[in-house]
Structure 1
Amino acid sequence: MIQAVRDLQRLREISKVVVKHGFGELLDRTRLWEALGRREVSERPSAAELRATSARRFRDTLAELGPTFIKLGQILSARPDMIPPDFIAELSTLQDSAPPLPLEQVLRLVEEGLQKPWRELFAEIDPEPLASASIAQVHRARLPTGEQVVVKVQRPGIEVQIRSDTDLLSYLARFLEGVIEETGIYTPTGIVAEFQKAMLLELDFENEARNIEEFGKNSRENVVIPRTYRTHSCRTVLTLEELRGLKLKAVLEGTAPPDVDRKLLARRILDESFQQLFIEGIFHGDPHPGNVIVLPGNRLGLLDFGLVGRLSKAMQESIVVLVLAIGLRDPDTVARLLYKVGIPDERINLHRFRADIHDILDRYLGLKLSEVSSTTLLNELTDLALTYKIKIPKEYAVLSKASATTEGIIRQLDPDLDVAQVALPYAKQLLIDRYSPSSMSGGLLRLLLQLQGFLQDTPQQLSQILMDLEGGKFSVTVRNEEMQRLNTNVKALGILLFMGSIASGLIVGAFSLVGRVSGPEGTHWPLAALAGLTLAAMLFGAAVTWTLVGGRIRKLSVRRFLK
């Protein structure tokens, strides 16, 4: 009961702020006032407020509503597939700060989280915080071993507050979804659900520790990933190696010492970006200047791994092909890839879709790939996909925003750096790895295993269909000759599936034997493997010949059974 009253008060507070910034009409359309019991009265927006852009007013609304809504804005700013570029630009400026907690409270939170007196874990903790944000506060500290670390401590009660606010957001989203026609393929409830998931991950510092350790698995010559101290970390406390250096932001502002090499930094940032994208398949989702430290020797240190994206091998390959297709001005391939990696909400006119992509690529005709702004081009392609109601997977959207941030940094540090030329060796390496003999044989083995599974499952699925037909779950009218033909076809399919299952098993076994015999000149084919492959080919060939000639399989019209 008490929580319900608090929620109602918070909902009224939200409605007042929304009206204050000129979005009262939105609440009118949702009929939220009926749920609140009365229309809330708030100061009318000033003339200057109304003259400001909707994006600016939206940013100010979120900023005034507090931590949960600020985080919502920051997460949305990384999703160019969800909101327009002008909103992204405004939301990217949202600053997440909060008054610092007193040291006594911080020490108590450390002890509650780690279940030990803080003096057993740390020699000292600096009373002055390095940073104080809405979710956590960061302090320098020293371990009993003398190692310098930073300790990130979650604010008390923040999880309860965020859960309460996101529940209210879900309530508001259902209102919006029910009454606003132009919500598009990204429904308000879907957006809030993604936000809730992202926030719960950000509140779990153990998740961030896992992300850091995953990045740290791969050795880097010029990039430092901070070490995690798991014995000094938990869900609400995270202890990391301290990286002491200069914030990249200072370099971009021109306040760096003369020994900082801007061109070298640009190249190393770009190399690290492509290493993550093409080689490792895991990338930093928020590489803004505040999360990059310039260390001695122009090395880079990366911070804040709360937002991380992961790419499968297929995703990595599609990105390479997309870049090549854009470089070759091949709208057919671009259209095919966007349609393939996206999630179409409905059938689309592919001919018109390709024509619209052709129009976009034509605007860049005559320009080198290095002269094309990837941010602008990706935004145009994303907007076009949304126009055709093709939903872009989250990983690609986060990557698009991260790439835009990196591109902006590179252009400030070294405008003459040829991004395409730097990317080429990484893209080549990805394709070489993709089509290497070991990768191809592994892919073939997976395909054969899938085929074996398909052949094993199909009889059971066919049996289920026949049982449904026999049990009267389908109303079917079939002439005698059609039933006779069906019986013949079922027998033929049964023989084909039986022989095919044996053949696929022999093939998988043969490949397993091949992998076990190797010599100085490569892999030798053992006699048993050759015999298995030969027998498999004979069995499968005999089955196919019998079904096509003796069994006389004909195509079945499913529609006739469903009329």
Structure 2
Amino acid sequence: MEISRGLKHANRYRKIAATLARHGFGYVLQEVGLFHILSLPKRMASNSDDVNMHSVGQRIRRVLEELGPTFIKLGQMISTREDIFPPSIIEELQKLQDEVSPFPFEKAQQIMEHDLGHRVEDLFASFSNEPIAAASIGQVYKARLHDGTDVAVKVSRPHIKETIEKDIDILRDLAKLFSQRFQWARYYQLQDVIEEYVDAIRDEVDYYVEARNTEKMKTNMEQFPALEIPEVFESYSSRRVLTISFLDGTKFSELEHTDKQFNKKEIARSLTDAFFHQVMVDGFFHSDPHPGNIIFTGYETAGLIDLGQIGRLNKEMRRQFINYIIAMTRKKPDQVAAAIYEMADIPDTIDHDQFAEDVYYLLSKYYEKSFQDIRFGEAINDIFATSHRYEIQIYKEYTMLAKALITFESIIEHLDPDLSIVEIAEPYGRKLAMEQLNPKNIAEDWWKEGVRQRDYLLDIPREFRDALAKLNKSHVGIEMKVPKMNIFLNKMDRISNRLSFSIILLAFSIIMVGLIVGSTFGDSSSPLVTLPVIEVSFIVSFIMFLWLLYAIFKSGRF
């Protein structure tokens, strides 16, 4: 293990080890040899009263709280992975609060003036020295620009990036070591969880990332006037400072403590419509829509803030996701299983029949319900949890979407219990499904598949050559005597001819579809349209097809 990415992390390792031991996890450290490596007394492994006093979930939460921002954020991320971790741990980690004491304004002032190149009083007409929010990554101040615009200014905690990078090194080391020694670490995919966390925390600590996300989301949401996204002021921003327009309103988490009146039903519908547009159309969605990130800015308007965490789905992923949803609505376990296989890495040892049977059992509890009455995110998460038991690794883009859906559904249910999320999502899903039947998209899919198969075929000689090269390097002499070799070679020749025949048929089909689609959707004003392109191409392709067919049959090896 690279514990000391040298010895520079040794003190931090000792603190982590001591904290784990104090809360009853010393045996884990002893098992992997950390007590010896860090020169810690072995008595720490069993020197804890915490084991009998608290549950495993409680002890994990206490460890994370004591170890600070990096570990608190890790716990919060784990608390959303209901598809992997047991409820007893999830419930405890959901209690983690990302609220810490604010750091002095003088430190924030130094960071702003260093990064922005001007004094705070020159940058802003007014600046409140007291933060309006403080968290583990940074804190937020309210200020006013010289043109009178009210802004929110986020400033990173001093040295937070260095602290997080140090902890990332340690977390990676520990995850690797635990995965080598413990079956539970492999079952919970500890290394994958840590890597997912690393990507998320690095994005959060870099305010340039949040600035770009905010600008893109603002552009994407322009057609939703009831949803406000802050404006980014680039000249007042850096990697450690982010200045955005101030959204004045009431946070969702504070609704119960205000006398202001809001049209909650209309806001719920607007938020849901916007969310599914983000997922199904843009493939760019707010992946952390918790109550603190939604602000009620008017009677029927709301705003989204804190876009450090964004989920992304490319066109193919959106297609796969809608296939999965369609399979669920039809309550077809075989189709659900097939859709899952497209959204994940599948182990070679999986029992496909048993997995489909478990999916059937899971879907059976929804058979008596209309799909409109099913909790969308919860149903998806149930399937993902079943997949995890078979060591199926769902791609992180989909688990991020499931997490966002569960959080979002709970918010919408609070605002309007009668609103059917599925009813609003259905038109987006139907449109996406219809796009798959578009002749142009079908032709594109066929072309991509043809290119993919061509690449596979072109790789065969190279891979065969590489295998021979490795065999030669091994200096091993091999003498083979295969009975009836000539018969075998003739059969191989026939197989290759049949393969060539099939490829020509596929290419011929792709050419014809492409020409038909092109003539249908192309620019009718083009002079090429007046030429008999289809007829000429058909004749040329058909002649080539007949020539190859004649050559194969003439050889007698078909």
Cα distance in structure 2, aligned partners of 1:325 and 1:359: 15
2:225 counterpart residue number? 221
Cα distance in structure 2, aligned partners of 1:467 and 1:55: 51
Which AA in structure 2 matches 1:481? N
Which AA in structure 2 matches 1:12? R
Cα distance in structure 2, aligned partners of 1:2 and 1:446: 47
2:242 counterpart residue number? 238
The answer on whether the counterparts of 1:246 and 1:293 sit within 8 Å (CA) in structure 2 is yes
Which AA in structure 1 matches 2:243? T
C-alpha deviation, 1:405, in angstroms? 0.6
2:334 counterpart residue number? 332
C-alpha deviation, 1:214, in angstroms? 1.9
Cα distance in structure 1, aligned partners of 2:43 and 2:130: 42
The answer on whether the counterparts of 1:141 and 1:148 sit within 8 Å (CA) in structure 2 is yes
| Alpha-carbon distance change, 201 to 466 in structure 1, aligned in 2, over 3 angstroms | closer
The 5 A counterparts of 1:14-163 are: 14-39=16-41, 45-46=48-49, 50-163=52-165
Identity %: 28
Cα distance in structure 2, aligned partners of 1:471 and 1:404: 51
2:486 counterpart residue number? 481
Mean CA deviation greater in 315-324 or 302-311:
315-324
| Alpha-carbon distance change, 118 to 480 in structure 1, aligned in 2, over 3 angstroms | same
2:254 counterpart residue number? 250
The answer on whether the counterparts of 1:493 and 1:547 sit within 8 Å (CA) in structure 2 is no
Which AA in structure 2 matches 1:61? V
User: Which of 159, 168, 171 in structure 1 is aligned with 2:170?
Assistant: 168
1:394 counterpart residue number? 396
Cα distance in structure 2, aligned partners of 1:93 and 1:548: 72
1:344 counterpart residue number? 346
Cα distance in structure 1, aligned partners of 2:373 and 2:522: 51
The one-character-per-residue Cα deviations of 1:60-99 (angstroms, maximum 9, x if unpaired) are 2101111111111122223334423332332233112232
The one-character-per-residue Cα deviations of 1:206-232 (angstroms, maximum 9, x if unpaired) are 111121122122222211111112222
C-alpha deviation, 1:409, in angstroms? 1.2
The answer on whether the counterparts of 2:24 and 2:48 sit within 8 Å (CA) in structure 1 is yes
Cα distance in structure 2, aligned partners of 1:355 and 1:419: 28
The one-character-per-residue Cα deviations of 1:143-198 (angstroms, maximum 9, x if unpaired) are 22222211111122111111112222223223312321232355433333332232
Cα distance in structure 2, aligned partners of 1:382 and 1:471: 41
The answer on whether the counterparts of 1:448 and 1:508 sit within 8 Å (CA) in structure 2 is no
The answer on whether the counterparts of 2:84 and 2:385 sit within 8 Å (CA) in structure 1 is no
C-alpha deviation, 1:505, in angstroms? 10
The answer on whether the counterparts of 2:30 and 2:42 sit within 8 Å (CA) in structure 1 is no
Which AA in structure 2 matches 1:88? I
The one-character-per-residue Cα deviations of 1:362-397 (angstroms, maximum 9, x if unpaired) are 122212223323344333322211111101110111
1:180 counterpart residue number? 182
- Give the secondary structure class of the aligned counterpart of 1:265: helix
Cα distance in structure 1, aligned partners of 2:546 and 2:416: 65
Mean CA deviation greater in 11-20 or 182-191:
182-191
1:559 counterpart residue number? none
Which AA in structure 1 matches 2:321? I
User: Which of 408, 411, 414 in structure 2 is aligned with 1:409?
Assistant: 411
CA RMSD of aligned residues (A): 3.5
Which AA in structure 2 matches 1:205? Y
C-alpha deviation, 1:123, in angstroms? 2.5
1:535 counterpart residue number? 539
Cα distance in structure 2, aligned partners of 1:553 and 1:78: 60
Which AA in structure 2 matches 1:465? F
Structure 2 residue ranges without an equivalent (≥5): none
| Alpha-carbon distance change, 546 to 5 in structure 1, aligned in 2, over 3 angstroms | same
| Alpha-carbon distance change, 412 to 329 in structure 1, aligned in 2, over 3 angstroms | same
1:560 counterpart residue number? none
C-alpha deviation, 1:107, in angstroms? 1.7
- Give the secondary structure class of the aligned counterpart of 1:129: coil
Mean CA deviation greater in 38-47 or 308-317:
38-47
Cα distance in structure 2, aligned partners of 1:465 and 1:191: 37
2:361 counterpart residue number? 359
- Give the secondary structure class of the aligned counterpart of 1:127: coil
Determine if the alignment matches structure 1 residue 465 to structure 2 residue 467.
no
The answer on whether the counterparts of 1:131 and 1:138 sit within 8 Å (CA) in structure 2 is yes
- Give the secondary structure class of the aligned counterpart of 1:146: coil
- Give the secondary structure class of the aligned counterpart of 1:149: strand
1:435 counterpart residue number? 437
The 5 A counterparts of 1:499-510 are: 510=515
C-alpha deviation, 1:248, in angstroms? 0.9
C-alpha deviation, 1:481, in angstroms? 1.5
C-alpha deviation, 1:17, in angstroms? 1.6
Mean CA deviation greater in 498-507 or 257-266:
498-507
- What is the aligned residue count? 547
Normalising by structure 2, what TM-score? 0.87
C-alpha deviation, 1:285, in angstroms? 0.9
C-alpha deviation, 1:450, in angstroms? 4.8
C-alpha deviation, 1:264, in angstroms? 1.8
The one-character-per-residue Cα deviations of 1:281-311 (angstroms, maximum 9, x if unpaired) are 1111110000001111321200111111111
Cα distance in structure 2, aligned partners of 1:377 and 1:176: 31
Structure 1 residue ranges without an equivalent (≥5): 555-563
C-alpha deviation, 1:480, in angstroms? 5.2
Which AA in structure 2 matches 1:462? P
C-alpha deviation, 1:333, in angstroms? 0.7
Which AA in structure 2 matches 1:530? I
2:279 counterpart residue number? 277
The answer on whether the counterparts of 2:443 and 2:514 sit within 8 Å (CA) in structure 1 is no
1:373 counterpart residue number? 375
User: Which of 201, 207, 210 in structure 2 is aligned with 1:208?
Assistant: 210
C-alpha deviation, 1:259, in angstroms? 2.5
